[in-house]
Structure 1
Amino acid sequence: MAFLTAWKGAAPGKSDYRTPVSSLHEALDQCMTALDLFLTNQFSEALNYLKPRTKESMYHSLTYATILEMQAMMTFDPQDILLAGNMMKEAQSLCQRHRKKSSVTDSFSSLVHRPTMDQFTEEEIHAEVCYAECLLQRAALTFLQDENMVSFIKGGLKVRNSYQTYKELDSLVQSSQYCKGENHRHFEGGVKLGVGAFNLCLSPSVGAGGGLMGIPEMGLHLRDHPQDCGGLHLGGVAPTHHEFAWLSLQTLSMLPTRILRLLEFVGFSGNKDYGLLQLEEGASGHSFRAVLCVMLLLCYHTFLTFVLGTGNVNIEEAEKLLRPYLKRYPKGAIFLFFAGRIEVIKGNVDAAIQRFEECCEAQQHWKQFHHMCYWELMWCFTYKAQWKMAYFYADLLSKENSWSKATYIYMKAAYLSMFGKEDYKPFGDDEVELFRAVPGLKLKIAGKSLPTEKFAIRKSRRYLSPKPISLPVPALEMMYIWNGYAVIGKQPELTDGILEIIIKAEEMLEKGPENEYSVDDECLVKLLKGLCLKYLGRVQEAEENFRIISANEKRIKYDHYLIPNALLELALLFMEQGRNEEAVKLLETAKQNYKNYSMESRTHFRIQAATLQAKSSLEKGNRSMVSSVSL
């Protein structure tokens, strides 16, 4: 609902605890100084600079708590999560003190009872946007901290209230009657961050340039209910993590299905284009939250649309966003990390390695940044088939990071299994023993296992047999799960190298004795081989390999995910040839006919992205034909 009256500025005679507007301006300046310290890797200095005023200034308190939450989201350490949660709760309480007794969402939920905006001071309006941020960040921590139904409901209500507040504040900003205050740019930046993030996350398909909802197991279906004042949306935690938004994808997928079904009758709607526009406008403004808008956009372009899409990323936009910050903060770990991600997506693996190594060297205080780089470096060396180096980084992660021990140990075992017989296997580790250890390392966050971890556990189970049958190319299989073939596909020499390994594995399977896993393993190899052939331009051979998987559908015993993914890859191949109608049919089959397979959510994201892309191409073609006829 639109605001009907204008805010006139600060009103005199407020309670003693309300700081004047000049103090608000000073607080924002100081928080920007702290943010500058943070972006130059002076993390402790930033916290120490903020701490003295965290009990009195809502912006100091919110910024301090946000830095702690960013650390908690990287470590997944229960103590870090608890500390961040307590601090965010204090920040919310402080914001509540500065809000008008009747809040924006309460006061403006009804046209009948709505007061005029001239009853609000500038500080009270800023308190609203800060309060909305606190709610959202506390919701994210709630989902990680507890796995009971009450916690999920509480978290969902926080998101609902945050969403409604942002909607009302957005209406205020759009109102022609709205009178801008002294610190308007910071207020508007906060609104654009929240509104942009919500719209991005609530639109139908992230991989196609949309949001995180509307996908099985990943959140509530989108149905706007005007009669409601909102609704529970547990998937909306992504915006709170800013540059680490990709972690929220795991949180989304971990929400128990029973809870999602229970809450499915309500939901929100979002507009991807509007969300991107809001974030882009927020990023271009000179506000406290401009850099946060930039980070969220960089996450969107370099993680979400790549891992969950077709591999087609607006890399030019990502480079444009990053360039001024990399110039201002040449040693800033966050920006070096994103620079590395951009090089990865471009297929410049050596340049990416250099960037990630620079990121590690740039600071030694937050090892969590190192861990993010280790993960990326592990994959970079996987693309280069340098198994010892890939193993080295998987080993570091398994010892230093607690996100998913099962995944890290699985990757260690996977790399060891890729070694040749003549290679020295370091540290005396044995891949069979490592694979056997994976199921016992299962971790639950927010009551549900990580999808990648569940995949690793399923694949490891065959090693529990006294005489286990080895996985053919486990490292290259997991590379597919993370869309790594879209990286090597940009470098023919890398693709050739991986294809050679796959062909050798294929020959070994053909020569070896038949067993219960034979068909599954052969189909896996066909899928990976088809991908390499596609990127090398050997289209007909690629199609043949993908079709072999579909032909063996009824014979596959365990790896049922191969069938819908083979259809997806065949559809993408058809799209490159302009066969969009055939592609759409294949994608519909993949989406509708297969359920309950490994990494289903991720596959559905990619199917949705491909479907929207194919349909868009068809619509453009139809419009072009109409134009030609008209002429």
Structure 2
Amino acid sequence: MDVMEDAPRADDEERFEDAYERIPTACHMDLQSAIRETQCALNLVLNNKFSEALDLLKPWWRDSMYHALGYSSILVMQAAMTFEQRDIQMAMATIKEALHTCQRFRKKNSVVGSLSGLINRQSNLQEEEMHAELCYAECLLQKATLTFVQDENMISFIKGGIKIRSSYLIYKDCHNLLNAAANDTDSQSDLHRQFEGGVKLGIGSFNLMLSLLPQRILRLLEFIGFSGNREFGLSQLQEGTCGSTLRSILCTLTLLFYHTYVSLVLGSGEGNVAEAQALLEPYLLKYPKGAIIQFYSARLAALQGRFEKACLGYQECVSSQQEWKQIHHLCYWELMWTHTYQQDWPQAYRYAQLLCRESRWSKAIYVYQKAAILSMMSEEDVKKTGEDVLELFRQVEGLKQRLAGKSIPTEKFAVRKSRRYKAGLVPVPLVLPALEMMYVWSGFTIVAKRADCSEALLVTIEAAEEQLRHDPQPSEFHVDDTCLVQMLKGLCLKHAGRLLQAELCFTHVLSSENRIRYDHYLVPFTLYELALLYRQQGDDAKAAAFMENAKSNYKDYSMESRLHFRIHAALGSLKSSPAATP
């Protein structure tokens, strides 16, 4: 996407975002029309007309709060998908200008927390000023998100946190204002409904996001005013999907992301696929060729075990538009995994190769994934690709990047695993690396929906088990590799309902704890999986005890944060619905 000639320069100094005495006379766009035009722009985005959406918003984005919010939102979406520094800087500069635009419509001298003093005098806060608070909070949240990925130093990380807190407090005040106006006659107006939709999106998203955080982090955040309630967050977003406000589709997309990704990767795999399907249906009718809608439709098919339909859906999504290649990359990632679930290694390799060539999100993960997939293929098939697997693994460490001063956990994991192939060492091949990475991304939960694919995975794992058992010269990694295979085998057996055999596999890993030399993550993750098995058998007390053991007695291992997220979600689920199965 070309940079617009009148867009702000990325190196412009951040201006002091203070309120003007009055709205500039150049602005003649009334609030209702601004919301309507922004809704049209959102419809264009959902119909793959990204440049047209920007062209619609561009003439007014410096004079209308909603045009500013919409314009910056599209550029932030693009930057988040490309990870290109140019796109990030462009989006950041645009958000600063959007904040400046929104600030002009806010009540003079309005600061975070001041709205609460106006609740009993709400006539002092005009409708336009209420919407300005809302748009300002959304822009702040966008700015915080980009701040996290723009720079590598901790100062930026802290600044992002401050922006998030400011946004959260504004949303809380807007929610209080909404409750205070519940019985007001003006609460039936369209502008009020639009305001209500924005509040539900913000409050719902914050509550849902905060509820995912492990208890130890949440305690710190509660100290500075944050709190999160999962059920309340979900209900707010669900209510926000109703009607036809500007934020209805945004609430829907937030819920879709939660049910199809967040609950699986950071939770215990209990996203509500049926609810997600119901939410998506009307938009499939309205935007049948829309790439974003097509993408979620394919993702839902994959989560239901309909892998062939999912692959066709992702391919249709790629074909539906050529303007935003970033959506293609999301589809390539999913196609790589969907073929991995079916052990179609040549096709999985094809999409891993496309990601390596085209996407800038994480070269380290892409190269590791490609090498891991090649490791699952026959020597003859690897030769056909012309790849040097050893050299690929050796590249991984040099490709690691840092975001907000920290390494990406999955990159750190890939680097640790690939160190077996360091120059000067006699390489000891990794065992089932593609299946291990599949576990990291919660793929075994998805494969469990297909008995044939689960059984095929078990055959592959048992072949590796047999090979390790008869290894004439066990390496220093032998115990680690054996434990990995036992954990993966236990997962397949657990999902197949063969619980006693699964328990024996998990117990083998735990009994080998003192002999594991490198892959220390295996023990706490196995404790977690064993806890889910006990929960499946109805022994909630034992399940909780094993999760607490994994949470409290292990630290400094790969993917530690991810496991803490999963444990937090599983413990919460145990308390709320003990009869449910993972």
* TM-score, structure 1 as length reference: 0.85
Q: State the match for 2:134 in structure 1.
A: 129
Alignment of 1:226-625 (within 5 A): 266-464=224-422, 465-512=424-471, 513-618=473-578
Q: State the match for 1:162 in structure 2.
A: 167
Distance between the aligned counterparts of 1:313 and 1:115, measured in 2? 40
- 8 A contact 1:221–1:267 mirrored in 2: no
C-alpha change, 1:346 and 1:36, in structure 2 (3 Å) is same
Instruction: Give the counterpart letter for 2:147 in structure 1.
Output: T
C-alpha change, 1:18 and 1:344, in structure 2 (3 Å) is farther
C-alpha change, 1:368 and 1:215, in structure 2 (3 Å) is farther
From 80, 96, 101, the counterpart of 1:94? 101
C-alpha change, 1:617 and 1:70, in structure 2 (3 Å) is closer
1:427 deviates by 3.5
1:514 deviates by 1.2
1:106 deviates by 4.7
Distance between the aligned counterparts of 1:609 and 1:274, measured in 2? 15
C-alpha change, 1:106 and 1:495, in structure 2 (3 Å) is closer
Distance between the aligned counterparts of 1:281 and 1:535, measured in 2? 34
1:410 deviates by 0.3
Query: Bigger shift: 91-100 or 141-150?
Result: 141-150
Instruction: Give the counterpart letter for 1:333 in structure 2.
Output: A
Distance between the aligned counterparts of 1:199 and 1:285, measured in 2? 22
- 8 A contact 2:113–2:173 mirrored in 1: no
From 153, 162, 187, the counterpart of 2:158? 153
Residue 174 of structure 2 aligns to a residue in which SS? helix
- 8 A contact 2:65–2:101 mirrored in 1: yes
Instruction: Give the counterpart letter for 1:161 in structure 2.
Output: S
1:295 deviates by 0.5
- 8 A contact 2:150–2:404 mirrored in 1: yes
Identity of counterpart residues, as a percentage? 51
1:220 deviates by 5.0
Structure 2: gaps (5+ residues): 1-20
C-alpha change, 1:18 and 1:340, in structure 2 (3 Å) is farther
C-alpha change, 1:516 and 1:215, in structure 2 (3 Å) is farther
- 8 A contact 2:113–2:169 mirrored in 1: no
Distance between the aligned counterparts of 2:321 and 2:147, measured in 1? 30
Q: State the match for 2:12 in structure 1.
A: none
Distance between the aligned counterparts of 1:115 and 1:334, measured in 2? 42
From 88, 92, 95, the counterpart of 1:85? 92
1:199 aligns with 2:207: yes
Distance between the aligned counterparts of 1:66 and 1:351, measured in 2? 31
Distance between the aligned counterparts of 2:298 and 2:445, measured in 1? 16
Distance between the aligned counterparts of 1:369 and 1:148, measured in 2? 29
Q: State the match for 1:214 in structure 2.
A: 214
C-alpha change, 1:76 and 1:22, in structure 2 (3 Å) is closer
| CA RMSD, 1 decimal | 1.9
Deviation by residue 1:563-590 (Cα, 9 ceiling, x = unmatched): 0111111111111111222111111111
1:53 aligns with 2:60: yes
C-alpha change, 1:613 and 1:149, in structure 2 (3 Å) is closer
Query: Bigger shift: 28-37 or 520-529?
Result: 28-37
Instruction: Give the counterpart letter for 1:193 in structure 2.
Output: L
Instruction: Give the counterpart letter for 1:396 in structure 2.
Output: L
Q: State the match for 2:50 in structure 1.
A: 43
Q: State the match for 1:70 in structure 2.
A: 77
1:201 deviates by 1.2
C-alpha change, 1:101 and 1:617, in structure 2 (3 Å) is closer
1:617 deviates by 4.6
Instruction: Give the counterpart letter for 2:61 in structure 1.
Output: T
C-alpha change, 1:200 and 1:19, in structure 2 (3 Å) is farther
1:358 deviates by 1.1
1:84 deviates by 0.4
Distance between the aligned counterparts of 2:412 and 2:450, measured in 1? 31
Distance between the aligned counterparts of 2:141 and 2:366, measured in 1? 30
- 8 A contact 1:215–1:605 mirrored in 2: no
- 8 A contact 1:333–1:359 mirrored in 2: yes
Deviation by residue 1:251-279 (Cα, 9 ceiling, x = unmatched): xxxxxxxxxxxxxxx35111111111111
- 8 A contact 1:189–1:282 mirrored in 2: yes
1:185 deviates by 1.7
Q: State the match for 2:11 in structure 1.
A: none
- 8 A contact 1:308–1:605 mirrored in 2: yes
C-alpha change, 1:540 and 1:182, in structure 2 (3 Å) is closer
1:469 deviates by 0.3
1:118 aligns with 2:123: yes
Residue 30 of structure 2 aligns to a residue in which SS? helix
Q: State the match for 1:103 in structure 2.
A: 110
- 8 A contact 2:448–2:495 mirrored in 1: yes
Query: Bigger shift: 421-430 or 463-472?
Result: 421-430
Residue 557 of structure 1 aligns to a residue in which SS? coil
C-alpha change, 1:96 and 1:406, in structure 2 (3 Å) is same
Deviation by residue 1:378-403 (Cα, 9 ceiling, x = unmatched): 00000010111111111110111111
* TM-score, structure 2 as length reference: 0.92
Q: State the match for 2:6 in structure 1.
A: none
Distance between the aligned counterparts of 1:16 and 1:406, measured in 2? 49
Instruction: Give the counterpart letter for 1:534 in structure 2.
Output: K
1:421 deviates by 3.1
From 189, 197, 214, the counterpart of 1:189? 197
1:142 deviates by 1.2
Structure 1: gaps (5+ residues): 1-13, 204-210, 226-265, 621-631
Deviation by residue 1:331-389 (Cα, 9 ceiling, x = unmatched): 11101111111111111111111111111111111000000000000000000101111
Residue 270 of structure 1 aligns to a residue in which SS? coil
Deviation by residue 1:15-38 (Cα, 9 ceiling, x = unmatched): 352789971111111111111111
Residue 17 of structure 1 aligns to a residue in which SS? coil
1:29 aligns with 2:29: no
Instruction: Give the counterpart letter for 2:481 in structure 1.
Output: D
1:79 deviates by 0.6
Query: Bigger shift: 304-313 or 78-87?
Result: 304-313
Query: Bigger shift: 22-31 or 515-524?
Result: 22-31
